[in-house]
Amino acid sequence: MSAFDGSVCSRRAWCGALLASGLLLVVQPAWAGSYLDRTTLLVGQATREADYLRLRLADRELARTVHKLAAARLKAASTMQVPQEVAPAHPHLLLMLENYERATDAAEQGQAGQFFEYVGRARDEEAILRAVLKQLGWPLPRR
The residues spanned by each domain of the chain are 34-135
Mean pLDDT of 45-67: 97
For the stretch 76-98, pLDDT in tens is: 999 999 999 999 999 999 999 99
Q: Does residue 17 carry a pLDDT above 60?
A: no
Listed residue (135, 45, 40) closest to 89, CA to CA: 135
| Distance (Å) of CA 120 to CA 86, 94, 97, 124 | 24, 15, 12, 6
Contacts of 82 (CB under 8 A, 6+ apart): 35, 90
Listed residue (4, 6, 98, 87) closest to 50, CA to CA: 98
For the stretch 21-52, pLDDT in tens is: 444 444 444 456 789 999 999 999 999 999 99
